[in-house]
Structure 1
Amino acid sequence: MDDTRVAASYVRLLFEHMAALGRANELGEPPAATESFVALKRWRALLERARELDPGTKATFTLRLARGIAPRHFGLVGFAALACGTLADALQRLERHHRAIYDVNLAQVRPCAQGLCIEWGVERGRPGALVDETAIAALMQLTREFTGRPVRAVAVDFVNPRPADVRPYQEFFGGPVRFGQPTTRVVLASQDLALPLRGADAALLALLDAQAERLLQDVAAISGPLAVWRQALVGLIRSGRTQVGDLANSLQMSPRSLQRRLTEQGLSFQVLLGQTRQQLADAYLRDANVELAEVALLLGYSEQSAFTRAFRQWTGLAPLQWRKQHST
């Protein structure tokens, strides 16, 4: 697990928690503004140190810490998830991009008899109770932040040994909590998945709208159906939907009809998608405040490496090289 990591924005939650207790200076240096990730080993050590410094009950430290979670602690992924329509959509987006936040064991989101199951195995190792409990409690708290409702878990499982008292966990999660299980998982009820989100973050939407507007201005110079398709695609990329069926649905036509129309214009869906992504990438990369990992997420890539490969194909340059050449 030496190469695993968590988002620096997520680690800042811990420093904010300790600052509220007046003990942040005793924890050490927070992640630098230039850091996007923190090694898991360091994160675990910070949690252990903070638990010792926290004057509250040690058994419930992770639960108290998680109560301070906000979308900003999940970085751009958290803000983008908040821009979704329902809790189910937000959770699917978090699952697609979870490696940008918590690069330990892979998350699987799947329907189950009780609703939706979010599950983590142990393929890459066991990070320990402090890491696991903070992550799962934070995710549960985030569902409440997203919806503004007291969402309760149908069930929660942990791979770690059972603590002496499970009642604080049951009270926090709102349902039965088991320990010593084969996997870590959270089950949410079907009716909660349809809950609307309380509203998107204004700062993120301003960023997305400004960048998208630049592309739409370019699109306005294009006549015919291509302009309509590209305008629709800008919004879909923004929401993480980058399949031909997504565009067809938004245009109220079948995927086959859309493919035929694209062929008539001498295009394929992948070419149209690539061209649109490249134009958006140019706009995002000109903004020095947007990190490369965030650009990848804004363009619907699950990993920065996939974006880097695509950008090299478009321009012959790595995104960082392109940014340096076009910085003002």
Structure 2
Amino acid sequence: MQGQVSATYVRLLHEYLARRGHDAQAVLGEALPTDDGSGLLRVPVTHWAALLARADAVLQEPALGLKVGAGIQPSHFGLLGYLTLCSATLGQALARLADYERLVYDVNQVRVTMLAEGVALEWGDERGRPGQRVDECAIAALVAYARNITAQPDAAPVAVRFINPAPADVGPYHAFFGCPVGFAAATTQVLLSPTLIAAPLRQPDPALHALLDAQARALLARLPPADDFERRLRETMAAGLRSGDASLAACATRLHCSARTLQRRLAAAGSTFQRALDDTRRQLAESWLADSRLKLAEVAQLLGYTDQAAFTRAFQRWTGIAPSHWRRGQR
């Protein structure tokens, strides 16, 4: 699992524990991170997941992430919060959140898709899966935030889907979101209706919006690069393998360049597209083979091979041994 989240989420958890009558520092085993005034204070997503797990072990409340995320306010996100507040519509505010998502949630990148039913915000697992608590907190915060800035406390998405397996009790999820909620989906997704997207905000201010937008761009520029070329390419290939199209043309499209440009960049790095694809498949194969719950045929399918035999031949070419032997060696 890779990535970081804003320390704001940790603050939300501290505030929730305090409301429940607990000493947050005692429960979590650490103090609230000290704000350095930069607007860039973040924590590894793995650490955030561990903090939620510690809180859950003490509180033992179903859907804890929903309750933590529900406490979000524009002030929690500082500059970005005020930027969204002075947007004209929820759609404009969400566009700003997508533009500057890395300031608050730098894990899997959001994809925005226009559908007949509305606008879909979608997160895959290119950089790993942070788990249900992390995901539900993030999605609950997004929906609660939309309700807050539109002054529509009962506003509901069209649908919500989580990439994680269904919990024992799905009731809290339906109650909070007020719409159908699915689990074990291909991606985590929130679908918002055109009516909600067009909802006006409480205090639009175009001049202030422009000023804050410029400040947010400057803040984003101070972050370390999101990815180098090789890592972005590998993530794109991994996503393509899962969707069934990891071809040169498809990967180039996802990277917003031409196939020829992608080939030139690979050649400059001393590689080829096929070699990079093989390396990506090998890394994914070793990761998935380490999970004993996945059958070899399932691993082959995930990697885009037509049958298990083709995967076995490729794996032997990469490593010199059959995947079944490699798996036994990891036990």
TM-score normalised by structure 2 residue count = 0.61
Deviation at residue 199 of structure 1 after TM alignment: 2.4
Determine whether 1:145 maps to 2:148: yes
Deviation at residue 78 of structure 1 after TM alignment: 1.8
Matches within 5 A, 1:217-236: none
Could you tell me how far apart the structure 2 residues matched to 1:235 and 1:80 are? 8
Q: Secondary structure at the match of 1:111?
A: strand
Could you tell me how far apart the structure 2 residues matched to 1:102 and 1:129 are? 15
Indicate conservation of the 8 Å contact 2:86/2:209, yes or no. no
Q: Secondary structure at the match of 1:58?
A: coil
Deviation at residue 108 of structure 1 after TM alignment: 1.3
Aligned to 1:21: 20
Q: How has the CA–CA distance of structure 1 residues 183 and 79 changed in structure 2, closer, same or farther, with 3 Å as cutoff?
A: same
CA RMSD, Structure 1 to Structure 2 (Å): 2.3
Matches within 5 A, 1:129-140: 129-140=132-143
Determine whether 1:104 maps to 2:107: yes
Could you tell me how far apart the structure 1 residues matched to 2:129 and 2:20 are? 29
**Residues 190-225 of structure 1: per-residue CA shift (max 9 Å, x gap):** 11111111226xxxx9xxxxxxxxxxxxxxxxxxxx
Determine whether 1:7 maps to 2:6: yes
Counterpart of 2:58, as a letter, is L
**2:168 aligns with one of 164, 170, 173:** 164
**1:181 aligns with one of 169, 181, 185:** 185
Could you tell me how far apart the structure 2 residues matched to 1:176 and 1:75 are? 32
Q: Secondary structure at the match of 1:69?
A: coil
Q: How has the CA–CA distance of structure 1 residues 110 and 303 changed in structure 2, closer, same or farther, with 3 Å as cutoff?
A: farther
Deviation at residue 302 of structure 1 after TM alignment: 4.5
Deviation at residue 129 of structure 1 after TM alignment: 0.7
**Residues 105-153 of structure 1: per-residue CA shift (max 9 Å, x gap):** 0001221111111000111110111111110111111101111102101
**1:238 aligns with one of 194, 198, 211:** 211
Q: How has the CA–CA distance of structure 1 residues 36 and 129 changed in structure 2, closer, same or farther, with 3 Å as cutoff?
A: same
Counterpart of 1:170, as a letter, is H
Deviation at residue 25 of structure 1 after TM alignment: 2.8
Determine whether 1:33 maps to 2:35: yes
Deviation at residue 306 of structure 1 after TM alignment: 8.6
Could you tell me how far apart the structure 2 residues matched to 1:74 and 1:174 are? 25
Q: Structure 1 vs Structure 2: percent identity of aligned residues?
A: 41
**Residues 247-266 of structure 1: per-residue CA shift (max 9 Å, x gap):** xxxxxxxxxxxxxxxxxxxx
Q: How has the CA–CA distance of structure 1 residues 114 and 303 changed in structure 2, closer, same or farther, with 3 Å as cutoff?
A: farther
**1:125 aligns with one of 123, 128, 131:** 128
Q: Secondary structure at the match of 1:153?
A: coil
**Residues 268-327 of structure 1: per-residue CA shift (max 9 Å, x gap):** xxxxxxxxx7xxxxxxxxxxxxxxxxx4x154x7442599xxxxxxxxxxxxxxxxxxxx
Is there any run of 5+ residues in structure 1 with no aligned partner, and where?
206-231, 241-276, 278-294, 308-328
Q: Secondary structure at the match of 1:59?
A: coil
Q: How has the CA–CA distance of structure 1 residues 7 and 175 changed in structure 2, closer, same or farther, with 3 Å as cutoff?
A: same
Determine whether 1:61 maps to 2:61: no
Aligned to 1:190: 194
Indicate conservation of the 8 Å contact 1:238/1:298, yes or no. no
Q: How has the CA–CA distance of structure 1 residues 92 and 167 changed in structure 2, closer, same or farther, with 3 Å as cutoff?
A: same
TM-score normalised by structure 1 residue count = 0.62
Q: How has the CA–CA distance of structure 1 residues 305 and 169 changed in structure 2, closer, same or farther, with 3 Å as cutoff?
A: closer
Q: How has the CA–CA distance of structure 1 residues 303 and 178 changed in structure 2, closer, same or farther, with 3 Å as cutoff?
A: farther
Counterpart of 1:175, as a letter, is C
Indicate conservation of the 8 Å contact 1:9/1:75, yes or no. no
Q: How many residues align?
A: 218
Counterpart of 1:193, as a letter, is I
**1:45 aligns with one of 44, 50, 63:** 50
Counterpart of 1:12, as a letter, is R
Deviation at residue 239 of structure 1 after TM alignment: 5.7
Q: Secondary structure at the match of 1:187?
A: strand
Could you tell me how far apart the structure 2 residues matched to 1:110 and 1:147 are? 22
Q: How has the CA–CA distance of structure 1 residues 49 and 305 changed in structure 2, closer, same or farther, with 3 Å as cutoff?
A: closer
Could you tell me how far apart the structure 2 residues matched to 1:304 and 1:155 are? 35
Indicate conservation of the 8 Å contact 1:119/1:183, yes or no. yes
